[in-house]
Structure formats: C-alpha cells, structure tokens
Amino acid sequence: MIQKLHNLKKSQTDQKLMYKAEILNSVAAFDEQINDLKRNINTSTVDRYGAISDFKILEIHKETLRIQARKLESQRNFLLTKIDKLDREIVELQKETEQYAYLLQEQKKELYKKILVAEEEQASEFIQSKYIAG
C-alpha cells in the first residue's frame, strides 16, 4: 500500500513538473511577443514629409501596440503566479514522496530483521537437533 502511495506521489510530482515546463514555455512565448511589440513600437515611423494625419495614425498604432503589450504582460504575470503555486505544490508532493520512501525503507529493514531472526532460529534448531541426535 505504501509502495502504491509512493508511486502515486511520484507520478503526481512528475505531472506537475511537466505542467510547469509547459507554462514556462508559454511565458517564454509571451516574452518573445512582448519584445517584438516593443521593437515595433520603437521602429514604427512615417514618411519624412508625411501629413499630420500620418503622425496621428502612427500614434494610434503605437498605442494599440502598447495596449497589446500590457495585455500580454498581465497574462505573463498570471502564468508566473501559477508557476509559484505549482512550485509550492511540487515541494509538498516531494515531501510526501520522501516520507513514503522513508516508510518503505523502514518496512524493508523490518522484513530483513524478521528474516534474520527466522534464519537464526532455524540454525539454532538445526544445531540442537544435531546435538540431540549425536
């Protein structure tokens, strides 16, 4: 039973670690998109002798890019808080896994002691039977 619980906690930990990796990949994608938007904001221009309306359109475009960058940053921050929560869950699962591993070790030690006692008992019975027979 303890072995099953140990394996369960171990698999849950592995699943959480894979989920965390997926979220980290999403965060990296958001970072890339945010950097692209910031680069577009900084490099967007109009013709040198363009009309004033061109400058207004450019400003509207830049503001739209800024708003989109803020949205991506808020999604990124949400994912980062999710990662923090996952880290805490992973640590908790690892603690439980270690506890079950310790219990398994203790069970093995108990079983080994019982085997040693049984072997010692058999050996003493064998010696007694030889002594009585001899």
pLDDT in tens, 9-43: 889 999 999 999 999 999 999 999 999 999 988 88
- CA 23 to CA 76: how far, in whole Å? 9
- CA 45 to CA 39: how far, in whole Å? 12
Q: What is the pTM of this model?
A: 0.66
Contact 5, 106 (CB under 8 A): no
pLDDT at 3: 83
Band (pLDDT 50/70/90 cuts) for residue 124 is confident
